[in-house]
Amino acid sequence: MSMQAKGLLITMMGALLVVPDSLFVRLIDADPLVIAFWRAVTSGTAVLVGVLVWMGPRAVSASLRTGWHGALYIVVLAASGVLFVMAVSLTSVANVVIIIATMPVFAAIFSRIFLGEPISRRMVLTMLFVIVGLAIVAYGTGENATASRSGDALALLLTVSFAAALTAVRRVRDVSMVPAVPVAFLASAVILWPMVEPMSIAQDQVWLVLLHGAFITGSSIGLALGPRYITSAEVALLILLETVLAPLLAWAVVGEDPGRWALAGGAIVVGALGVSNAVALLRRR
């Protein structure tokens, strides 16, 4: 197997394993903060064990010595799990994943502001279509019983803050930030602990909690290792799988209709990002 094929396979695995994330939030009957706590504990512990075995404790300490850039990444990553669970609990799965899919657009804007990188004509056109798609999704929120403005706002906050963190961490690209992932997850769990009742999970749903953590662990590993072997455009195309499949999975399993406006706006967002990344990939080749 070539390195590119290996990268595509591993990244696709990571993208597919993150698809049920929002569905688990729907299926686990508990307070959203309790779900976020156990999501962080299970996946953070598993990923930490893997990092210590394959990379060693020095890799963890190296990621913690990356200054404010690395600190911002860890803080945002710690908050992202909580913001995601809260957003899914307040609005529709479709709205959340569509908004999160626009992260490359915000990353491009931050890269222009803070790193001085130019924004290509391709990305400008992509931004215009994405704005139209988001406007349609926002309009449809008021007509969808499962959607809400507050949930959409949390998803947007998650997207913008994570795009900023990814831009900041590019300043320390010579250091692997993979070991920072379990640090962020476990730090999030420690902060949430005094605010939740961890044992309030029903006994017959413990297996769902463990399975949720296993999926997040596999996704974290796949999305950390796969992109080392393929281009960023290929990674972006594969990550769009969640945007397409997560609402369909929620629709099929729990009957959550994304609504016609979310489908229309999502089609524009996914289409614009997909075409943009495909063009970038073809130009690179």
- Is the pLDDT reported for residue 2 higher than 80? no
Average pLDDT value for residue range 3-21? 89
> What's the confidence (pLDDT) of residue 282?
84
> What's the confidence (pLDDT) of residue 206?
95
Q: How much is the pTM?
A: 0.92
Please tell me the distance from the alpha carbon of residue 269 to that of residue 273, in angstroms, as a whole number: 6
pLDDT tens digits for range 201-243: 999 999 999 999 999 999 988 888 777 787 776 788 888 999 9
> What's the confidence (pLDDT) of residue 229?
80
> What's the confidence (pLDDT) of residue 281?
82
Return phi, psi of residue 166, to 5°. -65, -35
pLDDT tens digits for range 66-118: 899 899 999 999 999 999 999 999 999 999 999 999 998 998 899 888 888 89
Please tell me the distance from the alpha carbon of residue 46 to that of residue 40, in angstroms, as a whole number: 10
pLDDT tens digits for range 151-197: 999 999 999 998 998 888 888 878 888 899 999 999 999 999 999 99
- Is the pLDDT reported for residue 284 higher than 90? no
> What's the confidence (pLDDT) of residue 1?
65
3-state helix, strand, coil in the chain (%, to 5): 85, 0, 15
> What's the confidence (pLDDT) of residue 225?
79
Hey, what are 115's tokens? 């790193």
Provide the pLDDT confidence category of residue 285 given band limits of 50, 70 and 90. low
- Could you tell me the CA-to-CA distances from 256 to 23, 144, 146, 246, 253 in Å, in that order? 10, 10, 8, 11, 8
Please tell me the distance from the alpha carbon of residue 26 to that of residue 136, in angstroms, as a whole number: 24
